[in-house]
Chains A and B, each alone.
Chain A
Amino acid sequence: EAGVTQSPTHLIKTRGQQVTLRCSPISGHTSVYWYQQALGLGLQFLLWYDEGEERNRGNFPPRFSGRQFPNYSSELNVNALELEDSALYLCASSYFREGNTQYFGPGTRLTVL
């Protein structure tokens, strides 16, 4: 069974640009979570999507947004990039019957210059 996949692996952008990150969950998982892991700040919860709806978001500005598609894949969009957005962005998926075990993808490394 394929795990969670994310694309692209690496991305370099400049300040003010916009970026879209993509995530495909494990087959059968309906929930997708996005986390940011920035140097020195640890893993921070960004967004949670379930059944196509945004269920919760972390303490991030509105320029961080996303969506979940009918096939449960998800996009994370970041507008007006700032230098401090440089981080590893991790996507995870889960199936509610497994408690809250989340399965993570390999991440997208975003560098903002």
Chain B
Amino acid sequence: SQQGEEDPQALSIQEGENATMNCSYKTSINNLQWYRQNSGRGLVHLILIRSNEREKHSGRLRVTLDTSKKSSSLLITASRAADTASYFCATAGSARQLTFGSGTQLTVLP
């Protein structure tokens, strides 16, 4: 079963704009991770944020985590056409396997 929902389900923006995706989850977590998937192939790990962290940056990516609201957001700044992909949040609790959200399909128009 899915841990939570991602919002929006689909997002279309112009190149150079920022893209924000949100993720909500239901149970307590050790960390939350974001992955990207291009065209139904393998997932690429983007960033991991631990439950005791509130914000993390990696290049053009900024992730926030609010454990009191059980939510996270992923911001991609200055988006490029190559950022077009599906983005998934995944939570890791006491069990080692990941529980994925439903994903956001991002389309960046040139």
Q: List chain B residues, Cβ under 8 A from A101.
A: 33, 45, 48
* Residue pair A104, B44 in contact (C-beta under 8 Å): yes
* Residue pair A43, B44 in contact (C-beta under 8 Å): no
* Residue pair B97, A48 in contact (C-beta under 8 Å): yes
Q: Which residues of B are interface residues toward A (Cβ below 8 A)?
A: 1-2, 30-31, 33, 35, 40-45, 48, 50, 88, 90, 92, 95-103
Q: Does A99 contact B (CB under 8 A)?
A: yes
Main SS class of interface, A: strand
* Residue pair A100, B31 in contact (C-beta under 8 Å): yes
Q: How many chain-A residues does the 8 Å CB contact rule pick out? A: 29
- Measured in the bound complex, the distance between the Cα atoms of B1 and A59 in whole Å is 8
* Residue pair B98, A45 in contact (C-beta under 8 Å): yes
Q: List chain A residues, Cβ under 8 A from B2.
A: 42
- Measured in the bound complex, the distance between the Cα atoms of B43 and A104 in whole Å is 6
Chain A, 1-13, contact with B by CB distance < 8 Å: what is the 0/1 string? 0001000000000
